[in-house]
């Protein structure tokens, strides 16, 4: 990697047997939430512009008035006070500027509400009475491991084999997101560049780890860096000299493109492309994301498209290495990491997750491989003060069936995200889908079968593999108490039924004073 222009920079799951039900399009950014005041309950604000609320059904009353508040600004108890973190329009951090504006995550969050000292705390006995019966649903499979924690006190409220190491599926992305935000920060951007080759007429496309690079103005990733704009820079820098050959430098990442423990049809099924440091639209063949088909050569395909743009023969495109000290002909930058993380979590994007794990490895001085990313992620998470004993990571996306995470670890991580001690991590929970409103939870929590009350009141990351269904996130109970929960069902035979049962269980926490 030494000598490449990218080295200095360090750079959805479809509904199938391997992933969550995503919409196939990256999320827009919700409008700024209104200022909240207690004790009066404000009227329900309009839903985010990009995600219309589900159609109202009989039996779904206006009890989501408060839910919309949770959808737009999660309430977090810190140091005995209730505070609101506001995600805000993340496009403002980078639109029209070469350098992103300072992220609000660089400063400690400020309280905007008075302390709510009178909020009653749920009790373990109360939670057990309410939640326990919901976890006996046969749709949850052979076994279910669960942890529920009161965020304000960091105390356990409920545990059903909470320390059992289970297959996490895509809730693994919560771990990856926390690690990369810790080491890179929310405003970090990934650079894709082109440099002059060692021979006359030769140009080198240097991958910097951006999986969202767009071909042109049409992309499933908002505000993505564009290859056509990069090509314009190259043509200008060449001063009319026609290039004769395009090389693709993919040396930033090493090792195999698919992960250990991945099913053999991950690529052919559209769940991910081979992980390379340069690719177009996450390796999707269709730049508009209408189909999930992925290419098996994402980096070379990017090189071929560049060759078309600059007038070089496409049959010359091959792998190569950028010369040391090569003259840069052009460069484009990705959106800030906070935006990539939110897209990753909203739509459970496996390719973004794997490139983020490699960024952790690069920041920690480890090889940018599946193994290097997993080892580096574990080390970074341990530095956050979490107990990583038993944690087994083999990738960053959760596609690996070798991954093992416990519910208690997940609730500890979620508590750390909201405790105010790690302000860089706020894009993790702003990125989690909102029940009934966005991302992989858009079409859930919309029925009257015991889950509609959870709409707007729950932010959670979903996870699904054959035989596994998981859900982990944050919920406001009926007293306004913030709870972290993680539910992991194994031996599942009814995939949709397991998701519905998990949703009902999480909604039980919404309606529960649990004392």
Residue positions annotated with a catalytic role: 170, 173, 348
Residue 325 makes CB contacts below 8 A (sequence gap 6+) with: 3
List the one residue out of 122, 400, 95 whose CA is nearest residue 222. 95
Structure tokens at 114: 């008075």
Return d(Cα 377, Cα 370) in angstroms, integer.
11
Return d(Cα 457, Cα 503) in angstroms, integer.
12
Structure tokens at 22: 């995503």
Cα separation values, 455 from 34, 452, 470, Å: 19, 6, 18
Catalogue the E-assigned strands of 241-356.
245-249, 278-280, 318-319, 328-333
Return d(Cα 36, Cα 68) in angstroms, integer.
12
Taking each helix axis from N to C end, the angle separating 172-184 and 407-418, rounded to the nearest 10 degrees, works out to 40
Report the residue count for the chain.
515
- In 3-state terms, what secondary structure has residue 321? coil
| Cβ count near 270 (within 10 Å) | 23
Structure tokens at 151: 């965020």
CA angle, residues 461, 464, 466, in degrees to nearest 5: 170
Whether 294 and 18 have beta carbons less than 8 Å apart is answered as no
Phi-psi region of 5 (alpha: psi -120 to 50; beta: other; left: phi over 0): alpha
Distance from CA of residue 387 to its chain's centroid?
22
List the one residue out of 169, 166, 179, 177 whose CA is nearest residue 409. 166
Whether 455 and 435 have beta carbons less than 8 Å apart is answered as yes
Distance from CA of residue 216 to its chain's centroid?
24
Please classify residue 397 by burial: count the beta carbons closer than 10 Å to its beta carbon, then call 0-12 exposed, 13-18 middle and 19+ buried: buried
CA 111, 117, 119, 124 dihedral sign is positive
Return d(Cα 268, Cα 276) in angstroms, integer.
16
Return d(Cα 346, Cα 340) in angstroms, integer.
10
């Amino acid at each position: 990697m030494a000598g490449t222009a990218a080295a200095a920079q360090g750079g959805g799951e479809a509904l199938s047997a391997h992933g969550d039900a995503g919409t196939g399009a990256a999320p827009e950014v919700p409008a700024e939430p209104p200022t909240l005041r207690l004790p009066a309950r404000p009227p329900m604000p309009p839903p985010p512009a990009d995600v219309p609320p589900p159609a109202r059904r009989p039996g779904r009353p206006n009890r989501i008035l408060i839910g919309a508040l949770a959808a737009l600004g999660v309430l977090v108890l810190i140091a005995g006070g209730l505070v609101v973190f506001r995600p805000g329009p993340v496009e403002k951090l980078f639109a029209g500027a070469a350098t992103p504006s300072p992220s609000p995550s660089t400063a400690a969050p400020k309280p905007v509400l008075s302390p709510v000292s009178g909020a009653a705390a749920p009790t373990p006995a109360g939670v057990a009475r309410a939640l326990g019966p919901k976890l006996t649903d046969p749709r949850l499979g052979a076994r279910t491991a669960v942890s529920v924690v009161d965020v304000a006190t960091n105390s356990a409220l409920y545990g059903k084999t909470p320390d059992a190491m289970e297959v996490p599926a895509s809730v693994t992305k919560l771990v990856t997101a926390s690690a990369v935000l810790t080491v890179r920060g929310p405003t970090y951007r990934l650079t894709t560049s082109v440099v002059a080759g060692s021979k006359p007429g030769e140009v080198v496309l240097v991958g910097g780890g951006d999986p969202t690079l767009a071909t042109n103005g049409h992309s499933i990733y908002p505000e993505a860096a564009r290859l056509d704009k990069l090509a314009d820079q190259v043509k200008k820098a060449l001063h009319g000299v026609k290039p004769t050959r395009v090389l693709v430098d993919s040396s930033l990442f090493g090792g195999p493109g698919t992960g250990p423990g991945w099913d053999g049809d991950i690529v052919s099924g559209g769940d991910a492309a081979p992980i390379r440091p340069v690719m177009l639209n996450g390796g999707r063949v269709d730049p508009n994301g209408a189909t999930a088909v992925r290419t098996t050569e994402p980096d070379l395909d990017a090189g071929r498209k560049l060759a078309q743009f600059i007038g070089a023969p496409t049959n010359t495109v091959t792998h190569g290495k950028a010369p040391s000290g090569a003259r840069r002909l052009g460069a484009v930058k990705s959106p800030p990491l906070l935006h990539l993380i939110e897209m990753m979590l909203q739509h459970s994007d496996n390719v973004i997750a794997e490139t983020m794990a490699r960024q952790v490895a690069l920041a920690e001085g480890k090889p940018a491989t599946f193994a290097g990313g997993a080892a580096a992620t574990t080390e970074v998470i341990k530095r956050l003060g979490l107990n990583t004993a038993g944690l087994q990571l083999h990738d960053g996306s959760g596609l690996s069936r070798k991954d093992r995470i416990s519910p208690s670890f997940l609730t500890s991580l979620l508590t750390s995200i909201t405790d105010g001690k790690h302000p860089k991590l706020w894009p993790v929970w702003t990125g989690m889908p909102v029940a009934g409103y966005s991302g992989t939870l858009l079409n859930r929590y919309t029925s009257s079968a015991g889950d509609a009350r959870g709409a707007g009141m729950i932010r959670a990351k979903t996870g699904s593999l054959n035989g596994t269904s998981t859900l982990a996130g944050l919920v406001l109970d009926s007293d306004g108490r913030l709870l972290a929960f993680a539910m992991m069902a194994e031996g599942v035979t009814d995939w949709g039924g397991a998701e519905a049962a998990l949703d009902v269980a999480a909604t039980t926490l919404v309606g529960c004073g649990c004392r």
